[in-house]
Structure 1
Amino acid sequence: MKKLQFRIISILMTVFVIFSICIGFFSTQLLQDYAVESQEEGLVEQAIMAGSSLDGVAKDPSDFLNLKQEASVLKQHTKHRVTLIALDGTVVYDSAKQSPALENHRNREEVQAVLTGKPQGTDLRKSNSTNETLFYVARPVLDQAGEAIGVFRLAKPLAEMKQLNSQIRNSILTFSVLALVLATGITFLITKRIANPIEEVMDVAKNLSDKQYSSRYSGKGYGEVAKLGATINGLAESLQEQMQEIDQNEERLNELINHLVIGVMLLDEQRNIQRVNPVMCRILGMDSNELLGQSYADVTKSYGLSHLIEKTYRKKEMQNKEIYFYYPAERIVDANIVPIAGKNKGDMNLIVLLYDITEIRRLEKVRTDFVTNASHELKTPVTALKGFSETLLDGAMEDKDVLKQFLEIMLAESSRLDLLVNDILELSKLEQKQVPIAYEEVRVKDAVLSTFKLVKQKAEQKQITMEFIEEEEVNIEADSGRLKQILANLIDNAVIYTQAGGNIVVTLKKKEEHAIISISDNGMGIPEDELNRIFERFYRVDKARSRNSGGTGLGLSIVKYLVENFNGTIAVQSKAGLGTTFTLTFPIRHF
């Protein structure tokens, strides 16, 4: 039996037993008293009726002794103890004892009551002759003249009178037991109909508290229990919907935090890390499993960040500062520390937001360097044009040879200025992806051989041999003109920076779904410490030679952006004095 049903039955049975005992006790007492009183009254009536049969039989008191025979007959009819007592208290006849053996009864209460003129007398006492407790009823015996000539008495044992009480008590006990069994059966059936649905409702409520929100009440109750089941089902549905919404919001929040470009870290009031996103892990150089549950002071290697966090805990105000990280990598981060309320009242948690602005600062420096370099590159031809113009205006134009020389120089400088401006504009358009690209199927071999023709004269002047090795014929989807521009820039650089008598090798091969173009020379090479800067604008390894060759310093930057526009990559390998190899990788599209 389930606990609830057992408790209900136990309570109801306890109450039933208590009430049964109380009602049985009081009803037994009441019935016993009523039974005794009824028997007493019956004995009184019987005594009056039996005694009346003796009235008028005797003529005078002397004839009282002749009533023994009548008394013995009455004994057979009444089945009670019959006694005849003279007016002086002498026992004339007794159905239980021989009259001579009995003492004088004049002082008995019932006898005294009759002798004093009462119609009957009663008493309850223990008999000296039989040692039984008897109930006595006495009445006067009258002669023919209507005078009292003696006393007629009936006696009945109290035990016999109480025998009915025992029967009443046994009947009540039997009825109570049967009622208890019947009540238990009925209570069991009723409580089963009540307790089972309630137990199921309790099970559903417990499942809901254990976060099993799919649990439902499906029992068949009635009345208020059915309403309770419907209510608990409504609550379960509401909780399930709310938890689904919470889970969805939590999932969205996790996705949002995990895909932020800002590092996020949550600290509790104990200064332990409760949450981090991948960007924060990357900034701190540790895995999330190594960070969660740890004190921020043990995992952050930045004094500036630790100081800023402690300042936020102390002042309970948002803090912002640009901080430098030197471990695990050099970074510049914009740190924002935001205090928020914790789970418990008075607790304060912190959200640490780190935005890596290293690249931004680098680009700002690149932009600054670009402005500086552009100004420097533009200043040279502008200064030359201004100087030669002033010289000509001061009278040098009168000399035709000088005029022609100066005009040739001015034309060269203006051409260089025009080339520089065009390259700057071209680079700007490439950065903003505003250069139109007409994609078509391009045979890489044709683009390489066409480029060879462009630089053939310059290569022959330096006696440089150019070789093309095609391991496998490859076609790619690209802009033919832009691809030739990339190849021309790299092969032209190879010719420029390769000593006379050198050689240049262009290799074409296919690797998986990519075309690999390698341009190698055995020229002057590039120092290893400068390899990571050669794609910067206006950066020159050999500044004097590059400028004298007519270069603007923007060629490799333009090449890099063009390659990226084709979804390709460019890499360089070089050692000073041993030559350089540029490797271009382009995805192959199937036609």
Structure 2
Amino acid sequence: MQKFRARLTLIFIVLIGASVLAAGLFMARMLKESHIDALKTNMERELKVILVTIDWRQTGTETEQIRYFTERADRLKASADARVTYIRSDGKVLGDSDHDPQDMENHLSRKEVAEAMQSGGFGTDMRYSATLQRNMLYAAVPVKEDGQIKGFLRLAMSLEDVDASIRQVWYGVLIGLLAVFIIAGLISYRIAYSLTRPIEMITRVAYQITNMNYKARVHIRKKDEVGQLGQAINGMADSLQLQMNRILEDESRLKSVLENMISGVMMIDREGKIVLLNRSAEEIVGFSSHELLGKKFDEAKQQYEFTQLIQECIDSKEHIRDEMIFYYPSERILEINLSPLSVGEGEWAGVLIVLHDITAVRRLERMRSEFVANVSHELKTPIAAVKGFAETLLAGALNDKETARSFLQIIFDESERLNRLIGDILELSKIESKRIPLQFSPVHMHTFVANALNVMNAEAKKKSIELAMEVDEEMYIEADEDRLRQILINLLSNGVNYTPEGGKVRVKVEPVEGSYGPSGDYERIQMTISDTGIGIPKKDLPRIFERFYRVDKARSRSSGGTGLGLSIVKHLVELHKGTIRVESEVGMGTKFIVELPVIH
């Protein structure tokens, strides 16, 4: 822009300088012509005056005539301030005020003499005088007698004065031209600056917009074309900024959606490179985006079957859905959806891959299937017993009262067991579906545990099992008392059932270490139900909270258990925002440790 401004200023200066120079040339020419015309007029007038004083009828020899006319020429030069020359009709110089006529050549061919002879009047010429060695203006008139030309009278004046005047004019023109150049330069620069400055600002803003600085604006208040251009640039910048803000908002929303999707999303471009990978996809495939982005899908350390599926979609350009087991970073079942991408009129753009982790779904389906099978099996056993003994009675065993009574007792026990099983199944179903609203209220733990032990006291006495408790008198928690009693009774019943005669079942309630708040009060309690029973093998510990899972199936059936008690306990504890865990060693007894918050 500086170069453009300099060129524009130079153009202005050249145009103005050329105009001034042309005007100076024209003025000098006109001045010179005017001056010369005035000289010609004066010389013509003087020649006519001199003609009156000339006597061409002089007699005598040529030498006498030359002397006479030379003397006349000398006298006339003093009055006319010009060179005077007398020329005979044949061109012979008879007298000259500045030079010896004897040494002068014939003047008949001189332009002014020839013009005067041809026109019969006034003749002029401007030329360099070799005699006087300067530029001269010559004027000649013919001398006539009786209509015949007898000779010529010529005046010659130096043009030094004219040249001096022209030089003065040129000095003035050059000084004026220099002044005009300076003034024109300043004015031109100012004009060029006023023209280029807005354009420079517009160009700078355009570059900033090109560099994605959409806040840049042109500050021009002019209403001319440049101002309108600046307003158009500002309008374009406003539009671009609005569109970029929308694009950034949409991009932010899309990025937020992708990053928070549970499903994994991958995108592969037309060259087979991984160009998009959200957080869930990173977790599923076991590699970060930094490790995979920009790499070919078949070079990205992925499972062979997965890369083959991607290649199949690229080759067929059709949607593919499949399920696959991934073994890294952990074993999972994935549902894979591959969709070909295209832009424009079917132009191939790549593959979009959506990964769903359906491990939990398949596990749930398996658990439901197992639950249905277990329920069917658990229901079938008592029903088969009832049916078998009923058929025996119908076949004639009713006649034997002792046998009939024994069979009816078995039918009653099995129906009771069936009733408990159905009740536990319904209870567990309601708990799992969270259709049981909890009614929280303050519970005095010392009284609460004592009442639960009283409920179990009769059962414990049958096996001479000692029931003990260790609870602070001032301990309270907020809980659903009925559901908390169900938790404790189930765990105590489990302890009594699996503890041999003469054993001990103990309940201890205490604050959890490290759970004290800023006020100094504890925020969680720990309830430990321990027994001196047969214990649980280590391999069975992870599964004891599963539905219908029994460590000792024969003993569980004989004790009347349904296999759902611990599963119910676990769900009730979780409804109270608590946790339950078990510690056990075969032959040494078992501990169930329940942690609950004090306040909900």
User: What TM-score do the two structures reach when normalised by structure 1?
Assistant: 0.89
Tell me if structure 2 keeps the 8 A contact 1:424–1:554: yes
- Compute the displacement of 1:487 (Å): 1.0
What's the CA shift string for 1:162-208, capped at 9, x where partnerless? 44544444444333332232222223333444433333333333333
Stretch of structure 1 that moved more, 270-279 or 59-68: 59-68
Residue 16 (structure 1) aligned to one of 1, 12, 25? 12
Return the alpha-carbon distance in structure 2 between the equivalents of residues 425 and 44 of structure 1: 143
Return the alpha-carbon distance in structure 2 between the equivalents of residues 164 and 243 of structure 1: 74
1:201 is aligned to 202
Question: Secondary structure, in 3 states, of the residue corresponding to 1:149?
Answer: strand
1:498-577 equivalences under 5 Å are 498-511=499-512, 512=515, 513-577=523-587
Return the alpha-carbon distance in structure 2 between the equivalents of residues 224 and 126 of structure 1: 60
1:393 is aligned to 394
What's the CA shift string for 1:421-466, capped at 9, x where partnerless? 1111111111111113211111233332222222222223323333
1:56 is aligned to 52
2:519 is aligned to none
Residue 92 (structure 1) aligned to one of 86, 91, 94? 94
User: Residues 537, 55 of structure 1: CA spacing in aligned structure 2 closer, same or farther, 3 A cutoff?
Assistant: same
- Compute the displacement of 1:30 (Å): 4.4
1:113-124 equivalences under 5 Å are 113-116=115-118, 118-124=120-126
Return the alpha-carbon distance in structure 1 between the equivalents of residues 40 and 560 of structure 2: 156
User: Residues 488, 298 of structure 1: CA spacing in aligned structure 2 closer, same or farther, 3 A cutoff?
Assistant: farther
- Compute the displacement of 1:228 (Å): 3.2
What's the CA shift string for 1:317-363, capped at 9, x where partnerless? 332210101121110011112333589x9662433221111111111
1:237-256 equivalences under 5 Å are 237-256=238-257
- Compute the displacement of 1:304 (Å): 2.0
2:598 is aligned to 588
Tell me if structure 2 keeps the 8 A contact 1:304–1:324: no
Question: Secondary structure, in 3 states, of the residue corresponding to 1:535?
Answer: coil
Stretch of structure 1 that moved more, 407-416 or 160-169: 160-169
Return the alpha-carbon distance in structure 2 between the equivalents of residues 296 and 19 of structure 1: 69
Stretch of structure 1 that moved more, 414-423 or 261-270: 261-270
Return the alpha-carbon distance in structure 1 between the equivalents of residues 121 and 553 of structure 2: 159
User: Residues 293, 447 of structure 1: CA spacing in aligned structure 2 closer, same or farther, 3 A cutoff?
Assistant: farther
1:225 is aligned to 226
Q: How many residues align?
A: 584
Letter aligned with residue 516 of structure 1? Q
Letter aligned with residue 180 of structure 1? F
Tell me if structure 1 keeps the 8 A contact 2:16–2:184: no
- Compute the displacement of 1:211 (Å): 2.5
1:319-468 equivalences under 5 Å are 319-341=320-342, 348-468=349-469
Return the alpha-carbon distance in structure 1 between the equivalents of residues 269 and 171 of structure 2: 76
Tell me if structure 2 keeps the 8 A contact 1:16–1:180: no
Tell me if structure 1 keeps the 8 A contact 2:51–2:153: no
- Compute the displacement of 1:133 (Å): 4.3
CA RMSD of aligned residues (A): 3.0
Tell me if structure 2 keeps the 8 A contact 1:567–1:586: yes
Question: Secondary structure, in 3 states, of the residue corresponding to 1:61?
Answer: coil
User: What TM-score do the two structures reach when normalised by structure 2?
Assistant: 0.88
- Compute the displacement of 1:25 (Å): 6.0
Question: Secondary structure, in 3 states, of the residue corresponding to 2:535?
Answer: coil
Tell me if structure 1 keeps the 8 A contact 2:446–2:472: no
Letter aligned with residue 108 of structure 2? R
What's the CA shift string for 1:459-490, capped at 9, x where partnerless? 23323333323368542221101001011111
Return the alpha-carbon distance in structure 2 between the equivalents of residues 27 and 218 of structure 1: 42
- Compute the displacement of 1:17 (Å): 4.0
Tell me if structure 1 keeps the 8 A contact 2:206–2:233: yes
Return the alpha-carbon distance in structure 2 between the equivalents of residues 353 and 245 of structure 1: 26
- Compute the displacement of 1:68 (Å): 5.5
Return the alpha-carbon distance in structure 2 between the equivalents of residues 291 and 72 of structure 1: 118
Letter aligned with residue 544 of structure 1? A
1:144-223 equivalences under 5 Å are 148-157=149-158, 161-223=162-224
Percent of matched pairs sharing the same residue: 38
Question: Secondary structure, in 3 states, of the residue corresponding to 2:236?
Answer: helix
Unaligned ranges ≥5, structure 1:
none
Question: Secondary structure, in 3 states, of the residue corresponding to 2:131?
Answer: coil
Tell me if structure 2 keeps the 8 A contact 1:265–1:273: yes
Stretch of structure 1 that moved more, 523-532 or 16-25: 16-25
